[in-house]
A and B are shown apart, each in its own frame.
Chain A
Amino acid sequence: MVAIIGFALGVSQAALALLLAPGLVGLVRWLKARLQNRRGAPAWQPYLELAKLFRKEVVVSSNASWVFRAAPFIVFASTVAVALLVPILLVPLPFDGVGDLLVVVYLLLLGTFFLSLAGLDPGSAFGGMGASRAMTVAALAEPTVALAIFALALSAGSTNLGQIVARTMSGPAAVSPGHLLAFLALFIVTLAETGRLPIDNPATHLELTMIHEAMVLEYSGRYLALIEWAASLKLLIFFSLLSNLFVPWGVAAGLTAGALTLAVASLLVKLVILAAVVAVLETRIAKLRLFRVPELLSVSFVLALLAVTSSFLLR
């Protein structure tokens, strides 16, 4: 019985993430608009956009194959699968044994892989450009992610997300300088992986600068809706990884109503804080030239490497 409740909670926390995700993107956009002295669309605007996209018919290029039609489903399914593995509200996670942090990273890569293939499929130069850039950024971000995982696994003794959270919660002594460095490294990777400034500009349709938008240029209707929804879910997943792996306090450890309410509240607070940080960052800095992006990613790599070495030395 407890197991069933656990599974139900696991599924419902993923469902909650799915519901909150478009709002998070809307919130970042609204905060950005306010910071730039614009009135901005309300935070719930992405929901309206999704609803509209779902009602529209799909136009598919005559050059495209089944890969183009399958990709949105694969991207969405793999992102939701990640949401089921990631601690959003509570630990221990019911699906903790199904996949660890490495599985999370490679599941996200699975989505990027198919989205890039779909970018190439219609034969448009925009799609190819986006695919090429997306894969470049994804590949260069990979070592940082792996090292950040290493740093976390070192202090927690496990790569499984539930155990990392539980371990950090159990003793504040587990938080070390390595944690801070790993957090910074992962934050930069988050910006890269979710297509935020200064790596990608989510608000542009200028071919010289866009990555994600170029890749999905040929998509429309429900396909586009699925991809956009998955992209916002990815942002939420990275935010909750950043907050719950490094600052897990508030995450429910038991199934009491109080703990769950606290968990939801703390999740919302953390998400709002991170959204504000990203919004401020995006108003303060300009997009990097594409060929300067590797420099930023090497900074994050060095941070992650320092995180691991400091964890080694401080053991």
Chain B
Amino acid sequence: MRSLFALMLAGYALGAAAAVLRPGGRGGRGLVAAGAVLGGAAGLALALQVLLTGTPFVLEAPAVLSIADGLLFRIDRLGALFLGLVGFLAVPCGLYGAAYSEGYEGRASLRLLGALLNLFLLTMSLVPCAGNVLTFLFMWEGMSLTSYFLVLTETDEPETVLAGGWYLAMTHAGLALALAAFLLMATSSASTTFGDLRAAAPALSPSARNAVFLLALLGFGSKAGIMPLHVWLPRAHPAAPSHVSALMSGVMIKMGVYGLLRVGLDLLGGGPTWWGALLIGLGALSAVIGVLYALMEHDLKRLLAYHSVENIGIIFIGIGAGLMFQSFGLPALATLGMVAGLYHTINHACFKGLLFLGAGSVAHALGTRNMEEMGGLIKRMPRTALFFLVGACAISALPPLNGFASEWLVFQALLGGSAIPQPEVAVVMPLAVAMLALASGLAAACFVKAFGITFLAIPRSARAEQAHEAPRSMQAGMAMLAIACVALGLLPFAVAPILGSTLAGLGRVTPAAIELTRSLPLQVPGASGQMSPPLLALGLVVLLALLPLGLRLLGAERRGRVGDTWGCGRIGQTPRMEYTATAFAEPLRRVFAELYRPTRDLSIDFHPASKYFVQSIAYRSEIHPWIERLLYNWPLRGIRRAAVWVRRLQAGSLHLYLFYLTLAFLVLLTMARWWR
């Protein structure tokens, strides 16, 4: 295990070093990618070893930064799951990046991209490996900072810089809150290792435990992108290079989930019912509102970013249900909820990574992310289209792909809500079921739009007409994730027990309930139903194979010809006659007008002679998320006012600074004297 750990570090270090020393050229980019792939593969292997054997991996370096207990790495099963997730996505994204970064040739940011990508992967891999607070926060901050700079590498447009600013502010606010949570726990603990914190947690007063949980929820929730802390996510994720977007949406936001599980479930060992109910509520809100905003988005990558908010919501619903069942002492159902949440975590990493890579290929080929300029790409980029379609079906929870498998588990967990003895609490569950169903239906509508407008019909612009297929290495990255989407969809009966084993020994989940059987059809303890994705897939394949045979037996006509699309008698179809993304989403915009509150701006120019002749019409409609305005305007105003005040101190005069220096020195001296 030690050698695998070393290999992981060496891989990422090699990639980073190669980027700095030999940035350009095919070989240089290849080396950077090789580093990421090697590091990722080693991390995945290490994680699998820990997951399957169950023996945690421990590495101590107390001499480094000894002032705060030194560095300590301890990978248990829960950590290994998330470490494996990073490695699992690092491989395809690294491969993809080799060709994608060709667009950076000749730019200064190529060096930065390669080096930071590897450092980002390295620090992110080490977050779930951390065994004490210092290591955790150190790696967490490394992950945040490297990803911040990665967001800035694609362009230097003011919008991107602003997006980076939002991200930086939110992630640091989150860090401060997480730090506060850890400090609060450490007050009664011998040291800041997670083991000691866990041991000391029962001694905390209930109100302190609640405070720790809430701080962790806010801190880690801001990284996970849960509503209403998601504001940075749809801004920053699309701005990053596409394989970085894939990593950020696929795994980085999952570190928020990890942090919350580590603190809420592992260190605190679960809590009162309202913790779970709060998670379910936030999750349901995120799921529905996230997908609703995604529907209105015509920037392909931003659409995907809003879907990350939705899926984090689904994950939170699963975990929240688990926590809630746990508080009622229903271990089987608690396991089911947690497993559902964790399964969706993995699945979302797969399909969202795939979709971001697909969107990146499209953006790479067209030079735009605006869906209204796309269309007809299925003929120009057939493989990318196929991979994107797989991802779109998976995220829409269509059977037999992986999104369906995990949403089915979440549904089953929620259906188990009838086991809760208090009806007034149990009523949360059907509401969550309804929200989850609405979200998944809307997600399907959104991905009909995303795939249909982007890849089908006639090209809507000259750029789309001249699009070209993505290079081989980018295709390879997408193919790997597409295969994973299918495999994870077919094998829930094999994956669920492994996920269940990561919960062993966490909180008060009894190990007996974690023994999920590898049965076909999938039958999970606590769930009220059973199903079997492999048999379902087999059935569909058999039916699809029998159909042409049946048609032949029926004596169906087999000839066909190619003609024009019917245009009500008009010959010659132009892209302007097609349905647009805006038009596609219009019915839902009307239905949810109360949420969107779109601004409409209609100006009509009449002919000067008569107002019955219209010369031109300009129509403009925009949607500004008012929830964000409501929640963030007043703190932003406060910060601005404070900044103006601080600027008075920062006058730019050297004399003034010398005065501050002296003053501070004197104050410190007096304090030091007083202290003694």
Contacts and interface: CB of A to CB of B under 8 A. Distances in A.
Nearest to B560: A58
A132 B579 contact: yes
A123 B458 contact: yes
8 contacts: A54-B556, A63-B573, A65-B378, A81-B540, A121-B457, A131-B452, A132-B587, A305-B431
Given A67-B456, A109-B397, A226-B547, 4 more contacts: A56-B557, A99-B399, A113-B448, A131-B452
B456 A312 contact: no
Interface residues of B, number: 86
A63 B435 CA distance: 37
Interface of B: 375-376, 378-379, 389, 393, 396-399, 404, 408, 411-412, 414-415, 418, 423, 426-427, 429-431, 433-438, 440-442, 444-445, 447-449, 451-453, 455-458, 521, 528-532, 535-536, 539-540, 543-544, 547-548, 551, 554-567, 573, 575, 577-579, 583-588, 590-591
A141 interface: yes
A96 to B, nearest CB: 8
B577 A125 contact: yes
A107 B399 contact: yes
Contacts of A109: 396-398, 441, 444
Contact of B427 (A98, A121, A312): A312
A44 interface: no
Given A109-B398, A122-B457, A305 B588 contact: no
- 8 shortest A-B CB distances, which residue pairs? A128-B579, A142-B441, A139-B441, A146-B437, A159-B529, A123-B457, A120-B452, A58-B560
Contacts of A138: 441, 444-445
B166 to A, nearest CB: 30
A205 to B, nearest CB: 12
A164 to B, nearest CB: 10
A291 B592 CA distance: 11
Contacts of B449: 132, 135
Contacts of B535: 95, 97-98
Contacts of A157: 528
Given A120-B457, A138-B445, A312 B543 contact: no
Given A63-B457, A131-B584, A158 B529 contact: yes
A21 B426 CA distance: 40
Contact of A145 (B408, B437, B453, B586): B437
Nearest to A120: B452
Contact of B566 (A67, A103, A107, A218): A218
Contacts of A225: 556
Q: How large is the interface on A (under 10, 10 to 19, 20 to 34, 35 or more residues)?
A: 35 or more
Contacts of A59: 560-563
Interface of A: 54-67, 73-74, 76-78, 80-81, 84, 95, 97-103, 106-107, 109-110, 112-113, 116-117, 120-129, 131-133, 135-136, 138-143, 145-147, 149-150, 153-154, 157-160, 217-218, 221-222, 225-226, 290-291, 294, 301, 304-305, 308-309, 312-313, 315
A128 B441 contact: no
Nearest to B591: A294
Contacts of B548: 73
Contact of B551 (A127, A128, A140, A222): A222
A145 B438 CA distance: 10
A125 to B, nearest CB: 5
A225 B554 CA distance: 12
Given A73-B547, A124-B566, A159-B529, A102 B536 contact: no
B396 A113 contact: yes
A140 B456 contact: no
A98 B521 contact: yes
A133 B535 CA distance: 32
> In this complex, which of A135, A158, A304 has the most chain B Cβ atoms within 10 angstroms of its Cβ?
A135
Given A97-B531, A110-B399, A77 B543 contact: yes
A73 B542 CA distance: 12
A100 B579 contact: no
Contacts of B423: 312-313, 315
B456 A121 contact: yes
A67 B454 CA distance: 13
A81 B434 contact: no
Nearest to B534: A98
B543 A131 contact: no
Given A127-B579, A309-B427, A142 B521 contact: no
A77 B541 CA distance: 8
A81 B539 contact: yes
Nearest to A51: B554
B448 A290 contact: no
Contact of A117 (B456, B547, B566): B456
A78 B448 contact: no
Contact of B587 (A80, A127, A136): A136
Contacts of A112: 444
A121 B423 CA distance: 48
A257 B201 CA distance: 67
B577 A124 contact: yes
Contacts of A142: 437-438, 440-441
> In this complex, which of B433, B434, B583 has the most chain A Cβ atoms within 10 angstroms of its Cβ?
B434
> In this complex, which of B397, B444, B547, B585 has the most chain A Cβ atoms within 10 angstroms of its Cβ?
B444
